[in-house]
A and B are shown apart, each in its own frame.
Chain A
Amino acid sequence: MIRVLTVVSVIGWFVLSEVGAAYPEPYRPTDDRQVLQRLSFKASDPVARELDTLRTDLRRNPRNLESAVKLATRYIEQGRSEGDPRFLGQAQAVLSPWWNEPTPPPAALLLRATIRQSAHEFNEALADLDNVLAVQPTNAQAWLTKASILQVQARYDDARRACQRLARLAASHVLLGCLGDIAGVTGQSAKGLASLRAVLSDPGLSGRGRIWIATILAETAARTGAIREAEQYFTEAFKVGVTDHYLLGAYADFLLDQRRYQDVIFLLQSETRADGLLLRLARAEQALKLATFQNHTADLAARFYAGRDRGTATHVREEARFTLTLQHDAQRALPLAQANWKVQREPADARILLESALAAKNQPAAQPVLDWMKAHRVEDVHLHQLARQFQETRF
């Protein structure tokens, strides 16, 4: 026994000392060819050239609103497709001549609303959008962005009204997507699915528009328990052939719910840069007991820690999920999930709060979500299963 303990402690010591040695210390590389950092693009990439041209235009005339809006828009799109918040900061810097003005021009306001939305400053973003709409009541983008923020805040009636304003301003699939997404959560999934199926059957719908509609269909179907149908819509979305972080995350969640861990790893193994995707990858690795799980968990913990260091918190939903499912720390996950619920109220936010409350054996903490489910007749098999567990368990 003692010998075993000694062997274990010696091995443990060696392992620990190895870990210690791996901690970063500033160093001077010895090889000039050593690659230190991969950048978003090569100099010859069309995106890089386009950004370069726009930047040169703006440098010549920094207060030209049109050039600034073009460049900021391009940055935001780039941030969206790479999932990289740096581009949002760059967009904001481009807009800085108008950012702090009492009444910025509508084009700058709309971009400011989008950047604020990404930083989860939803009320400030809504105020900006209302100011845009006061001047330009037919601005479709403003109505759509407003609807999506209201939906995240669970203000479904207001969101529906915002969607309806799109009727004569944009193509029909924009209106139907906007309404269908809300219908799918609020007890009208059959109606939502029917209208969106028709939209998707239109061969004219392509690109990101098609991904958007197919993803709404897939998530709505998955929430109603129609697994096979959901799988079909996800396949439709991937067929478009454009990388979309939201789609990857939604499909990974779907696969995790089906315990198809190997498929998650196949889907996400090269997506370690985005916290949200790395989180799902690590969950699958944990279930399969893979060695990479340890590294990925440590990496995620360091990223959340670094995020807190700078004093901003936009990944609270992810952090709550990380703390509960990967670290099994319900006591710490619950306050995170509660803080997140104050800001965002989507089915995923409801789910992490119910799961944390259940694991922490704290029924009152779950009450706001149970009320929300009842008030809006929320359709979601996982949420209803969790709610039943609360009724069956006595704390």
Chain B
Amino acid sequence: MRILFVIVWLLLTVPAWAHKPSDSYLSLSVQNSHVEGQWDIALRDLADAIGLDSDGNGQLTWGEVRNKHGEIRVYALSRLVLSADQQACTTRVLEQLIDHHTDGAYSVLRFQANCGEPIERLTVDYRLLFDLDAQHKGLLRLTRGGHTSTAIFSRESTARQFSIAEQSRWEEANQFIREGIWHIWLGFDHVLFLLVLLLPAVLVRAEGRWHAADHFSSACWNVVSIVTAFTVAHSLTLSLAALDIVRLPSRFVESTIAASVVLAGIGNVYPMMMMSRRWMVAFGFGLMHGFGFAAVLTDLGLQHDSLLLSLVSFNVGVELGQLALVAAFLPIAYLLRRSWSYPKLVLTGGSLAVIAIALIWFTERAFDLQIVSN
């Protein structure tokens, strides 16, 4: 007997090959005085801990899991304590779902922890499964104000503290500024609209023909008036929409933005239509672009306590991105303005190309079609 025992173990030099050991995945998102959480715990681990296989057939069905939701909730919550500044938060499970990771099915607990006061220091005390499986680990992802940190809980380290308050305002503002910059750069419709309006700024229309502007100051003045009008208009509607005072259907907003680009292009090809009132076009359609920005801002997830901060930072980001564009455009356009190609190739040709692109956008958005795969 003893000898058999000896042999059975020899080949243990082979690492345990099947997938990884037991892990749970915990995501926490800190929002002022409460924490939104999602916790993925392997069904196999829950089966070991509280027994899920009611009919004992070696298979866990959704019915068996669903019947044990009460016990799963009690078990899980008894092994996770969130506390803000030494004060334990009260945790409530919102729903229980299922997800699949590389090593099988997981029970997904979505929960909310209320901590009463705005959280400045969050302590996470994690004690799931360590009594049953000493190699179990809890993989934490903590987000607060756009900043993410990770931690691994193991039997040797069961508690971690995170400071939330310091810097987080500044980090949050920073994050929204960056989002604003990226949005104006990557949202081609805004960029194109502005560029199309700016293209003729270095020219003067006289006797039915384009002439190069004589002074940098006049070109500059044109640009400033257009950019300012656009900025004032979109800031206005962005604020109205973000503060939920005015709401427009997004399909209408997006289609109108595309139409504004088409019209701005037509205005360059047929300059008689809106010669000296380009800033008014910028203002009028700028109102609509503001609603477009607001949709992005909402998608980023606005929190009530920091609404104004996010709004202002996002807008600052948009203006910074816009300023960078103008700063790159103006000198080049001013230098090229005297060449024959500027009015013909750049202004007319460029505007025609933009009209074509914007028409596709308009058709896609207004009629909900997919013309170009993106």
Given A37-B59, A42-B57, A303-B102: A89 and B136 within 8 A (CB)? yes
The residues of B that contact A21 with a CB separation of less than 8 Å are: none
B97 adjacent to A44 (CB under 8 Å) = no
Q: How big is the B interface, by class?
A: 35 or more
A42 to B7 CA separation, bound complex (whole angstroms)? 27
The residues of B that contact A390 with a CB separation of less than 8 Å are: none
Dominant secondary structure of chain B at its interface with chain A:
mixed
A36 adjacent to B12 (CB under 8 Å) = no
A85 adjacent to B13 (CB under 8 Å) = no
Q: Which residue of A lies closest to B99 (CB)?
A: A26
A88 adjacent to B21 (CB under 8 Å) = yes
The residues of A that contact B8 with a CB separation of less than 8 Å are: 77, 80, 208
A89 adjacent to B133 (CB under 8 Å) = yes
A42 adjacent to B56 (CB under 8 Å) = yes
A39 partner, pick from B17, B59, B100, B132, beta carbons under 8 A: B59
B5 partner, pick from A32, A141, A299, A315, beta carbons under 8 A: A141
A275 partner, pick from B18, B47, B97, B101, beta carbons under 8 A: B18
The residues of B that contact A215 with a CB separation of less than 8 Å are: 11
Encoded as 1 (CB less than 8 Å from any A CB) or 0, chain B from 47 to 67 comes to 110000100111111110110
Encoded as 1 (CB less than 8 Å from any B CB) or 0, chain A from 8 to 30 comes to 01100100000000001111110
The residues in A between 60 and 118 inclusive whose CB is less than 8 angstroms from any CB of B are 76-77, 79-80, 82-90, 92-93, 96, 99, 114, 117-118
A273 adjacent to B98 (CB under 8 Å) = no
A36 adjacent to B18 (CB under 8 Å) = no
Instruction: Give the A-B pair count, Cβ closer than 8 A.
Output: 222
Q: Which residue of A lies closest to B55 (CB)?
A: A43
The residues of A that contact B209 with a CB separation of less than 8 Å are: none
A118 adjacent to B12 (CB under 8 Å) = yes
Q: Is A130 in the interface zone, CB < 8 Å from B?
A: no
Pick 18 A–B contacts, CB within 8 A, sort by A.
A28-B98, A34-B61, A34-B62, A38-B59, A39-B44, A43-B58, A85-B19, A118-B12, A141-B6, A148-B10, A152-B13, A207-B7, A209-B3, A303-B103, A309-B23, A310-B23, A310-B152, A314-B16
Encoded as 1 (CB less than 8 Å from any A CB) or 0, chain B from 20 to 37 comes to 111100000000000000
Return B79 CB to nearest CB of chain A, in Å: 14
Q: Is B4 in the interface zone, CB < 8 Å from A?
A: yes
Q: Which residue of B lies closest to A11 (CB)?
A: B373
Return B55 CB to nearest CB of chain A, in Å: 8
Highest count of chain A CB atoms <10 Å: which of B16, B21, B59, B133: B16
Given A27-B97, A149-B13, A174-B6: A35 and B102 within 8 A (CB)? no
A309 adjacent to B21 (CB under 8 Å) = no
A171 to B40 CA separation, bound complex (whole angstroms)? 49
A93 adjacent to B134 (CB under 8 Å) = yes
A90 adjacent to B7 (CB under 8 Å) = no
Encoded as 1 (CB less than 8 Å from any A CB) or 0, chain B from 104 to 131 comes to 1100101000000000000000000011
